[in-house]
Amino acid sequence: MATKHDWTKEEILEIYNKPLMELLYEAATIHRQNHDPNTVQVSTLLSIKTGGCPEDCGYCPQAARYHTDLEGNDLMSVNQVKAQALRAKAAGSSRVCMGAAWRNVKDGEEFDDVLEMVRTINKLEMEVCCTLGMLTENQAQRLAEAGLYAYNHNLDTSEDYYKEVISTRGFDDRLKTIDNVRKTNVTVCSGGIIGMGESAEDRAGMLVALSTLNPQPESVPINALVPVEGTPMEEQEPVSIWEMVRMVATARIVMPETQVRLSAGRTQMSREGQAMCFFAGANSIFAGDKLLTTPNPDVNEDMEMFKALGLNPQKAFEKKEQPKSVDAEHSQFQNLGEKPKWSRPGHKIERNLQAQEKRKTKA
Ligand code: SF4
């Protein structure tokens, strides 16, 4: 059946609000038609540059303006990244996602280092993903040429609710970056977070934005907010497992071929809850004791869960063939020294400002 790209919010809400057993049955059926239900991809998320971010994302402990206990780090070296990737591979990961707390990519030495990290991991026969902030077309091409498999750029929430979470960049800039990635052969990873105070309509709105992209993202992470002390969302109530299952199942139904990734918030879920998410169509997880900066289940715990559920880790490049890495000296794309103007809407978000004020009083 051809993939539908004209989902409306009403249609998606209707799916999200179905009686749970019906929703699960429908999602599991679509899942089986498009994926092996006993295979789950295991990815490792590596924070290659932590903290000190100029953005004001209300959920994020890496934003410099909030007072959290986070220890920041400058960009890791290529060798450090290689060592961690080898460790992840030995523990069963087929994909490494490198995250840097940047607003956007800047041409220069640090980006050149990231390109080298991409080449290095690709040569280890692992899928390489990066999440580095906003990106121009030329930068996307350079990453593609280095052998990048996927680029992550989350929409986070609906366009309407985005204005309640972030004031330092616009939703359109996110879409523009995704579009720049789409001009290359790099796959798109884009999803969001639930539990930030948004409504079911906002959740549906986010799924509209993702599912109406053509092609749809190859990977969609669904995160449950992990409230971190010092951030504007520190007091947010955790989402229930039912909301998570509904979100996963709905994402599966509206994006049948996508890898739906169970991301942050797994430590708050029981194994039974996670099993229900896998049944509902989640087929990817992040392994490792940290998800950038928030806690994540231990690798051994995950492997025990896989054993109990009869799940197998997905092999690298099962969905798409391995890209070739072009060495820096043979690159066809120049460092353009671009200074793109990404927007700064600059509206006021009360809880973000309060968290910022608190930081000043603590400092
Ligand atoms: S989510 Fe990313 S862009 Fe936003 S503050 Fe955190 S590191 Fe910066």
Q: Return the ligand 1 atom nearest residue 166 CA.
A: 4
CB-facing half-sphere around the CA of 134: CA atoms within 13 A: 20
Three-state secondary structure call for residue 358: helix
Whether 63 is in the pocket of ligand 1, judged by its Cβ within 6 Å, is yes
Q: Is the pLDDT of residue 221 over 90?
A: yes
pLDDT above 90 for 237: yes
- What is the rounded CA–CA span in Å between residue 354 and residue 114? 35
Query: What pLDDT, on a 0 to 100 scale, did the predictor assign at position 7?
Result: 97
The answer on whether 57 is annotated among ligand-binding residues is yes
For position 346, what pLDDT does the model report? Answer: 85
The answer to whether 78 and 117 have CB atoms below 8 angstroms apart is yes
Whether residue 101 has pLDDT greater than 80: yes
pLDDT value at position 203? 98
What was the pLDDT predicted at 303?
87
Q: Tell me: pLDDT of 110 over 70.
A: yes
The length of the chain, given as a count of residues: 363
User: Rounded to whole angstroms, how far apart are CA atoms 336 and 142?
Assistant: 11
- pLDDT at res. 103: 94
Q: With cut-offs at 50, 70 and 90, classify the pLDDT of residue 314.
A: very high
Supply φ then ψ for residue 130, to 5 degrees. Answer: -130, 150
Is residue 277 part of the annotated active site? The answer reads: no
The answer, yes or no, to whether any atom of ligand 1 lies below 6 A from the CB of 97, is no
pLDDT at 284: 94
Residue 160 has pLDDT above 80, yes or no: yes
Average pLDDT value over all residues in the chain: 93
pLDDT in tens, 319-328: 999 999 999 9
User: How much is the pLDDT for 291?
Assistant: 58
Average pLDDT over residues 34-50: 94
Stretch 73-98: mean pLDDT, rounded?
Answer: 93
Say whether 104 sits in a helix, a strand or coil: strand
C-alpha distances in Å from residue 326, one per residue of 86, 111, 148, 329: 21, 16, 11, 8
Ligand 1 centre distance from Cα of residue 169 (Å): 11
CA 206: distance to chain centroid?
14
Q: Cα 107 to chain center, whole Å?
A: 23
> Per-residue pLDDT averaged across 215-238, rounded?
94
154 pLDDT above the threshold of 90: yes
130 is catalytic: no
pLDDT at 31: 98
In this prediction, residue 363 carries a pLDDT of 59
Q: Cis peptide leading into 215, omega within 30 of 0?
A: yes
Q: How far apart are CA 158 and CA 206, in angstroms?
A: 4
- What is the rounded CA–CA span in Å between residue 167 and residue 153? 17
**CA–CA separation, 42 and 91 (whole Å):** 10
With a pLDDT cut of 70, the percent of the chain lying above it is: 97
pLDDT of res. 362: 66
253-309 pLDDT tens trace: 999 999 999 988 888 899 999 999 999 999 999 887 665 666 667 778 888 999 999
Residue 53 annotated as binding?
A: yes
Residue 339 has pLDDT above 70, yes or no: yes
Helices (H) and strands (E) in the chain, counts: 12, 12
Residue linked to tokens 């899942």: 31
Question: Is 246 assigned a ligand-binding role in the annotation?
Answer: no
